[in-house]
Each structure stands twice: as structure tokens, then as C-alpha cells.
Amino acid sequence: MSEHFKGRYEVEFKYRLSSRVQFLSRLKSMSPEIMLEDNLEHDRYFDLPAGELKGENKSVCIRNMQPSGIKLWIVKGPEADRCEAVDITDAEKACSMLQTMGFERVLEMKKIRSIYFLGEFHVTVDRLEGIGDFAELAIMTDDEHRLAGYRQQLLELAATLGLDSSQLETRSYRELQANSNSLSD
């Protein structure tokens, strides 16, 4: 896993893109390092039967990315900035292990994802079918004291990339997907 994704805390801002093409053009004019482009991410979220994790603002996700072959076990929460991920070799086995421990699969989500690095920050561009295009600007750290400074730097980066507060999306992809599913039921 890249050094960009190491740390217990993640400062992240997510923006709904009005034009994916314009955003990518502006981003690429800044000569980012490309980690991967147009990978299919398959996320499977798990919770205990009574929804205890959701109630505690926590989530457990097993992610499989293709064609990169990256497989991750991701835990977020309970604090908004708390996020830890670890590389795994067998996503199917990890899902089976969670189910054996009593967890239930509560959501599956697929997205097309590209990841770029601008200095110490990572910029993720996502397309979620039926939901839209998004850009996430983020950094991970183990230093809790740097979180406020990183928030400010990310807001400045967003402005440089042509993003503004009217595009800010505070709901997680999980929430957006759940809302989308309930609208289509």
C-alpha cells in the first residue's frame, strides 16, 4: 500500500463534480503522479445483525480493485477522521470470515476509480452508476495535531482545482447508495 494511505486518521473532502472532464483537465494540468486510472472497485460493507456498527458511526468494508489487484480491509469511525486500511490477499476469504463471526453483508457498491497524487495529498476521482461523479481530496496521518492544518490545505487545493463549497458532499458513498436504493424501491 502506498505511503499516501498510511495513518490512523484521514482528512477528506468530497465534492460532487458538475463536469468530470473539466475537473480532470484541471487536475492533469498540475502534473499529478498517477497511481491508477479507471479501476473497478467492488466494496462490500458488513455490520452486525442489529446494525450496531452503523449506530456507533463505524463501518467495515472489504474492497477488491481490478485490474490493479489491490484488496483492502477498511475500518472507518467512530470519529469522522478515523480510517484504517490493510492490504489483504483474499477478499472472498475475508468476507467469509466476517460472516462466520456473525457479520452480515449490508451493502455492495461498485465504482470506477482513479487515484492521483499531488505532493502529499491524494485526489480520487469516482464514478458511481446512478449517483454521479465525485472528487475526494484527502491525506492520511498518524498525527492528530495536524488535522486542522490539513483541512485548511485541502480546502485551498480544492479552490485551486476549481471546486467550491456548493459542491461539497458530506454524505458517505454508503449513505448516497442507500438513499439511491430507497428511491428506486
CA 90/CA 87 separation, integer angstroms: 9
From 9, 15, 45, 173, active-site residue? 45
* Run of H or E residues at 175: helix 173-184
CA angle 119-34-25, nearest 5°? 90
Q: Is there a catalytic annotation at residue 9?
A: no
Cα-to-chain-centroid distance, residue 59 = 12
All three cell numbers of 157:
487545493
- H helices of 76-172, where? 91-100, 147-160
Cα distances (angstroms) measured from residue 109 to each of 48, 133, 167: 18, 14, 22
Q: Is cis: bond before 49, omega within 30 of 0?
A: no
Contacts of 116 (CB under 8 A, 6+ apart): 27, 32, 33, 34, 35, 122, 123, 124, 125
Catalytic residue numbers read: 45
